[in-house]
Amino acid sequence: MTKQLMKGCEAVAEAAIRAGCRFFAGYPITPQNEIPEYMSSRLPEVGGAFVQGESEIASINMVYGASATGMRAMTSSSSPGISLKTEGISYLAGAFLPAVIVNVSRGGPGLGSIQPAQSDYLQATKALGHGGFHTLVFAPSTLQEAVDLTYEAFDYAERDRSPVLVLMDGCLGSIMERVSLPEMKDPAAFEEKKWTVGYNGQSRPTRIITSIYPEMVLENHNKARVDLYAQWAEQDAKAEEFLLEDAQYVVVAYGIAARVAKQAILDLRAKGLKIGMIRPITLYPFPKKSFAKLDSTKIKAIIDIEMTIPAQMEEDIALATRCAIPIRSYGRSGGNLLDDDGVRGAIEKIVGGEA
Q: Are 20 and 48 in contact (CB under 8 A)?
A: no
pLDDT at 211: 84
Amino acid found at 189: A
Helix (H/G/I), strand (E/B), else coil: 171: helix
What domains lie within the chain, and their CATH numbers? 3-236 (3.40.50.970), 239-354 (3.40.50.920)
For residue 157, the model assigns a pLDDT of 98
Sign of CA dihedral 95, 96, 102, 106: positive
Contacts of 163 (CB under 8 A, 6+ apart): 89, 92, 93, 97, 98, 99, 100, 101, 128, 135, 157
Please give the full DSSP string across 33-55, using - where no structure is assigned. THHHHHHHHHGGGGT-EEEE-SS
d(CA 106, CA 79): 6
- Helix, strand, or coil here: 79? coil
Rounded Cα distance between 56 and 239, Å, is 32
* pLDDT < 70 stretches in the chain: 1, 199-207, 355
Q: What is the pTM of this model?
A: 0.95
Predicted pLDDT at 1: 65
pLDDT given for residue 37 in this prediction: 97
